[in-house]
């Protein structure tokens, strides 16, 4: 289901020109990340079937790749969420700046940087954690401390960015709602005053 949904989003966004807006491009990139995640999970299912028995070296390399892919996909999801939130934040709070400076080319460059970071994070375990000592226990449940700390730092930083952006958007929404209520109240008061003066003149 994840694969079908992701493929549909990617095809729909790339083949429909009017849908190729900045936010939809980010959504398509998220769909690609989900597609990669689905393929990795399918491979993991194949690798765990009883009759699939590779040699120890390939098994360690495969486990390292699966470990890196799982954590790398999580990092990519965090980064995409932060970019999507920042995109909406700038669009809502700084519309003229957004229209002038936030172009498709810059969105593609940001997404390219995100994918490079994610791919590096995926590839690192294949070369660094292929030794047998790292595979005595499940790496996904017992990751190396330095690798886990790095992903945790990225996670906390992205949460802070998302929280600040959402908080500012919420504050702006409350301010605009309050201003709209004040304008509505002022208009009602003026109308009531006009009706009162009109009735008084008629009397």
pLDDT at position 52 is 53
Q: Which of the 8 DSSP states describes residue 16?
A: -
**What domains can be seen in the chain, in order of their start residue?**
2-202 (1.20.1070.10)
pLDDT at position 29 is 86
The mean pLDDT values, 10 residues at a time, for the chain of 203 residues are: 69 68 84 83 67 56 81 88 89 86 89 91 83 74 80 86 89 80 62 55 56
Q: Do residues 26 and 111 make contact, with C-beta atoms less than 8 angstroms apart?
A: yes
For the record, the structure tokens of 59 come out as 């098994």
pLDDT at position 111 is 92
pLDDT at position 189 is 53
pLDDT at position 198 is 59
Q: CA-to-CA distance for 61 and 148, rounded, in angstroms?
A: 19
pLDDT at position 115 is 92
Q: For the chain, give me the number of helices (H) and strands (E)? A: 6, 0
pLDDT at position 203 is 53
pLDDT at position 21 is 79
């Amino acid at each position: 289901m994840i694969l079908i949904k992701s493929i549909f989003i990617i095809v729909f966004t790339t083949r429909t020109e009017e849908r190729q807006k900045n936010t939809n491009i980010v959504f398509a990139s998220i769909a690609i990340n989900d597609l990669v995640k689905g393929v990795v999970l399918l491979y993991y299912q194949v690798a765990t079937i009883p009759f699939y028995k590779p040699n120890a070296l390939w098994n360690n390399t495969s486990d390292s790749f699966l470990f890196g892919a799982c954590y790398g996909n999580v990092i990519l999801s965090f980064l995409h969420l932060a970019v999507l939130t920042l995109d909406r934040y700038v669009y809502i709070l700084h519309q003229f700046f957004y229209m002038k400076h936030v172009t498709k080319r810059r969105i593609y460059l940001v997404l390219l940087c995100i994918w490079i970071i994610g791919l590096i994070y995926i590839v690192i375990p294949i070369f660094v954690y292929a030794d047998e000592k790292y595979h005595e226990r499940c790496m996904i449940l017992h990751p190396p401390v330095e690798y886990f700390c790095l992903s945790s730092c990225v996670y906390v930083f992205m949460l802070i960015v998302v929280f600040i952006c959402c908080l500012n958007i919420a504050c702006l929404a409350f301010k605009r709602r309050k201003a709209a209520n004040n304008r509505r109240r002022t208009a009602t008061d003026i109308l009531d005053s006009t009706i009162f003066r009109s009735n008084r003149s008629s009397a």
